[in-house]
Amino acid sequence: MDKKTLEYDVQKSIKGQKEYCEKKKYPHFAPADGRCYRCRENIYKLIEHTKPNGAKYTTGISVEKSSAELITGCPHCNRTYCD
C-alpha cells in the first residue's frame, strides 16, 4: 500500500494497537499515548524527512499497520521498545 492512501490518525492507531495486542494476547510495547520515549515524536504521526541529497521520505505508523501488527519500536528514531 502506498503511504498516501493509508490513514494516519493518532487516536485510532492507539486504539487499534491496544485491541490488536489484547486480541492476540501480545505484550503492548508501544507507548500508551503514542509518544516515543526517546525522540518524543508521536509514532502514529506521518512525518516527512529530507535527506542531505534532497530526497524525501516519510516515517510513521498507519491505522492499518497498528491494527494488524505488533509495534515494537519507533519508526522515526528506530528506538526499540522490547529491551
Partners of residue 49 on adjacent β-strands: 57
DSSP H helices, 1-81, are 10-24, 63-66
pTM for this prediction:
0.89
CB of 76 closer than 8 Å to CB of 30: no
Classify residue 32 by burial, with Cβ atoms within 10 Å: 0-12, 13-18, 19+. exposed
Dmax (CA) for the chain in angstroms is: 43
Which one-letter DSSP state was computed for residue 58?
E
pLDDT digits (tens, 9 = 90+) for 15-65: 999 999 999 999 999 999 999 999 999 999 999 999 999 999 999 999 999
Give residue 83's pLDDT: 84
